[in-house]
Amino acid sequence: MSLLELENLSIRYGESTVVDDVSFVVSQGESVGLVGESGSGKSQTALAILGLSPRGARVSGNIRFAGKDLSRLSQREMDKLRARRIGIVFQDPSQALNPYLQIGRQLREIVTRHGLAVGKDAERTVMAMLELVGLPDTERQFRAYPHQLSGGMRQRVMLASALIAKPQLLIADEPTTALDVTVQAQILDLLETIRDNTALLLITHDLGIVAGHCERMLVLEKGRLVDAGATTALFASPGHAHTNTLLSAAPRIDRGEVRDPVHGKSLLGVEAATVSYEERGTSRLHAVIEVDLSLRVGETLAVVGESGSGKSSLVSAILGLVPMTSGRVVYAGTELDGPVERRPRAQARELQLVFQDPIGALNPQMRVQDLVGEPLAVHEVQLTSQQRLERVGEALEQVGLDTEFLERFPHELSGGQAQRVAIARALILRPKVLVCDEAVAALDGSVRRQVLSLLQKVQEETGLAIIFISHDLAVVRSISHRVLVMYMGRLVEVAANDALFRQPRHPYTRALIEAVPVPDPRVRPSRAPLQGEVPSLLDPPPGCVFHPRCVLATDVCRQAGPELRELGGSRVACHHAD
Amino acid sequence: MSLLTHPSVRTSGGILLFVALVALLGPLLSPNDYLTTNFDALLSPPSFGSARFFGTDDLGRDLFVRTMLGIRVTLLVAIVASLVSLVIGVAYGAIAGYVGGRVDAAMMRVVDTLYALPFIFFVILLMVAFERNFLLIFVAIGAVNWLDMARIVRGQTLSLREREFVAAARLIGVSPVRIVFRHIAPNLIGIVVVYVTLTIPQAILVESFLSFLGLGVQEPQTSLGALVDAGVNQMEGAPWTLLIPGGLLALVLMCFNFLGDGLRDVFDARHVS
């Protein structure tokens, strides 16, 4: 029986149509994936179903829920429906919780307000729900404020609040996009187990999640529903060219070419790098501990790990953006020391960085031509403005943007365009080392592919060495030569790409790889391979820091931290690796 | 949108320019001057016959000429005060915020010390040290006004400094000076313009307060604030003595506010559509 029916839904803002004539049905208890790139109208559709379209939106068409036409409901009836029969989980759980209220109180409010229970009963209902979503130590968490919880825990609380009234439909809008893969796997597991008979409308850009968790899928392109059907059928034979594009743009961790190791001379070497931050008071937080790495000419070295593993601190210290507590960086035979301002001018020309958030890394007050031309204005002062403009034009062409972008400001660019501008700016001085800090994480699949192949092309032409920080192992597999795995600031495994993905030696690496959803419905998703979350860096576990989450842990792990040792061409820090 | 096409910049800028021009040239057209008292025409209402466009005050002096004179003083105070707070305050705050550490601490303690001086005490001190002088008003208002600006700009700079585009500029090898003036300062425009538009009315009010205490503009010189103060006393019998300078003061303040809004739109790239 159909639960939710959309008939010819269209949403317009002024002249532009963001959702165009979309019709679909969600039946009771089924799970449906709504996929598409950013700007395809996924979230707009969800907001329209909830009656939460932003001001200025003109919504037309019919939305029926359990036979009732939602457009005829009063505000009050709609509120009631939203609370009791439709649950919602958004992407960013920190935005959806009131920072000034204990989470238990926020949940209890939902329970009492809608008359599900009162007094002590309400409290018990909330406790039970928190326990169900896997919050440890519910008594204490009931009184916790949102900022005291990790992102994953907050998302669990959001799930609890969405499901506490036992709704018939749960709408989840990119519920795991802000989380680490390991935590994502936990949340998706949880979604499966506690959903019971609630229908699920899962909005995502990640086909891996759809393949593993949705019975049917709907594909949106620029506001139009272009493809719909059973997940297995669509993956086997897409009904529309766009579905095919999405599928081929989704990187797979379980197959495809990998790049062979590069043998060349070392360009950049880091020895025993340690970065610690002074926390309020006397404690020190060690973000990076004794990390070694070497980067060869023309090589792509990937650095992976969950958030808090010290990936970004490591490269910031290498580049001189944050001070290194101890250790040294050697670049082309010279030691780089101190903050970037005090380093040899050559560094600024030859070591460059591309950030995760392209818009944030571009000065909002400068035009593209000034942004891309600034490195020239600093380092090649002899150029006339005409020559400089020519070089800027070339640099933009290299990244696939034409001259019409010269006059634009960053806010007038899409995410993909802005990232290409940032790359053009980093490449215009023809650097020897490029550090990409989650440089493609914010981009849609097809744009991501373009950017990655651009980087690869530049590398082949110029011998650029790339340090590629990413949490996305499927991407890492497709572009890197070697991979460095970090956990809580420590190196746990260093291996050639092929060796790492074919035979991961460290249990942490294995878990990371298993947690990545595979965009193929025939591959059943394994249960979340890693439970719990990264412990606080202020209070690391004794012995091997990974032991509390490790399946192999024994007494020796609780007592002694393992050294990094050679093992079949890789280096691994684990007592039990063989 | 450019400076000349933005509607509120055009309108309010135009009005301010017109008011300033009339204030400069108006007195030349009038047969009366600001000094001469006329005891036959105390508090006479506005009339065009005797060219007393705004009437006279309680000493029979021509209010039109006196108001024009007041506008000059008021505009001058407003412009000088905002320039001082803009130039010193922004540079000082941006440098303190960007350099940070001990430099920041030292620079901000200087600001705190100046804050701690009671304003009136400070003005009296100036009076004692120097002759009673028209210029002292500018010094006094200027010395106080940039402090707020420096604090605001410093706070904003502290957060801008952590933004990624500043890190990106550092990596490219952009010098600290260029980072402050090319990357940080332009991003302060929104808040600076808003604050300057708040500073102007504040400076105008401080000036009239000082004049009221006899520490500012001295009779027979005058300012809009001083005229409004005088007008309040005659409000019942001769409302024009209050309404005309008061109305002009309001007009000027409003124009500065709209001008500020418009300038922010023009200079802040993010508001350009």
By C-alpha distance, the chain A residue nearest B177 is A341
By C-alpha distance, the chain B residue nearest A342 is B173
CA distance A37 to A20: 15
pLDDT at A235 over 70: yes
Q: What is the pLDDT of residue A281?
A: 64
Chain B nearest CA to A129, separation (Å)? 39
What are the structural domain ranges in chain A?
2-85+168-249, 100-164, 266-298+305-432+452-460+486-493
Provide the greatest CA pair distance for chain A. 77
Q: Which residues of chain A neighbour B180 with C-beta distances below 8 Å?
A: none
Chain B nearest CA to A410, separation (Å)? 9
Strand order in the sheet with A326-331: A284-296, A266-278, A326-331, A334-336
Q: What is the pLDDT of residue B273?
A: 41
Strand partners, A9: A22
The answer to whether A105 faces chain B, any CB pair under 8 Å, is no
Of A159-168, A234-243, A255-264, A500-509, the poorest mean pLDDT is in: A255-264
Q: Which residues of chain A neighbour B177 with C-beta distances below 8 Å?
A: none
CB contact under 8 A, A362 and B168: yes
The answer to whether A372 faces chain B, any CB pair under 8 Å, is no
Which CATH superfamily groups domain A2-85+168-249? P-loop containing nucleotide triphosphate hydrolases (3.40.50.300)
Report yes or no for ipTM above 0.90.
Answer: no
CB contact under 8 A, A355 and B183: no
Tell me how far CA of residue A535 lies from CA of A123, A399, A546, A550, B221, in angstroms.
29, 40, 9, 13, 73
Partner B, chain A 83-102, Cβ-Cβ below 8 Å: none
Residue A177's SS3 state is coil
Chain A nearest CA to B264, separation (Å)? 12
Cβ(A576)–Cβ(A506) below 8 Å = no
Residue B121's SS3 state is helix
CB atoms within 10 A of CB B251: 14
By C-alpha distance, the chain A residue nearest B178 is A378
The fraction of chain A above a pLDDT of 70, given in percent, is 99
CB atoms within 10 A of CB A73: 15
By C-alpha distance, the chain B residue nearest A346 is B173
pLDDT at A72 over 80: yes
Q: What is the pLDDT of residue B272?
A: 47
Question: Distance from CA of residue A122 to its chain's centroid?
Answer: 36
Which of A321, A355, A378 lies nearest to residue B173, judging by beta carbons?
A378
CA distance A137 to A429: 54
The pTM (predicted TM-score) of the whole model is 0.81
Question: Distance from CA of residue A497 to its chain's centroid?
Answer: 21
Task: Calculate mean pLDDT across residues A166-194.
Answer: 87
Q: Which residues of chain A neighbour B269 with C-beta distances below 8 Å?
A: 364-367, 409, 411
Q: Which residues of chain A neighbour B187 with C-beta distances below 8 Å?
A: 363-365
CB contact under 8 A, B174 and A374: yes
Which of B164, B171, B189 lies nearest to residue A357, judging by beta carbons?
B164
Q: Provide the mean pLDDT of chain A.
A: 88
pLDDT tens for residues B124-170?
A: 787 777 776 677 777 777 777 888 899 999 999 999 988 889 999 99
CB contact under 8 A, A361 and B168: yes
Mutate to test the interface with B, among A316, A350, A352, A365 (most CBs of B within 10 A): A365
CB contact under 8 A, A422 and B168: yes
H-helix or E-strand containing A571?
strand A570-572
Show the low-confidence residues of chain B (pLDDT under 70).
Answer: 1, 132-133, 269-273
What letter does residue B56 receive in the DSSP assignment? B
CB contact under 8 A, B270 and A321: no
pLDDT tens for residues A289-331?
A: 999 999 999 999 999 998 888 898 999 999 999 899 999 999 9
What letter does residue A534 receive in the DSSP assignment? P
Cβ(A393)–Cβ(B213) below 8 Å = no
Q: Is the bond preceding residue B220 a cis peptide, omega within 30 degrees? A: yes
Mutate to test the interface with B, among A345, A353, A363, A366 (most CBs of B within 10 A): A363
Residues near B2 by beta carbon (within 8 Å), at least 6 away in sequence: B266
Task: Provide the residue type at B8 as one letter.
Answer: S
Q: What is the pLDDT of residue B259?
A: 85
Q: What is the pLDDT of residue A314?
A: 94
Q: Which residues of chain A neighbour B270 with C-beta distances below 8 Å?
A: 364-365, 409, 411
Task: Provide the residue type at A340 as one letter.
Answer: V
What domains can be seen in chain B, in order of their start residue? 7-271 (1.10.3720.10)
Q: Which long-range contacts (CB under 8 A, 24 or more apart) does A14-21 make?
A: A14/A56, A17/A223, A18/A44, A18/A223, A19/A44, A19/A45, A19/A48, A19/A223, A20/A222, A20/A223, A20/A224, A21/A61, A21/A224, A21/A225
pLDDT tens for residues A481-508?
A: 999 999 999 999 999 999 999 899 999 9
Mutate to test the interface with A, among B1, B165, B175, B183 (most CBs of A within 10 A): B165
Fold of A266-298+305-432+452-460+486-493: Rossmann fold (3.40.50)
Residue of A252, A313, A293, A246 lying closest to A42 (CA atoms): A246
Cβ(A451)–Cβ(A439) below 8 Å = yes
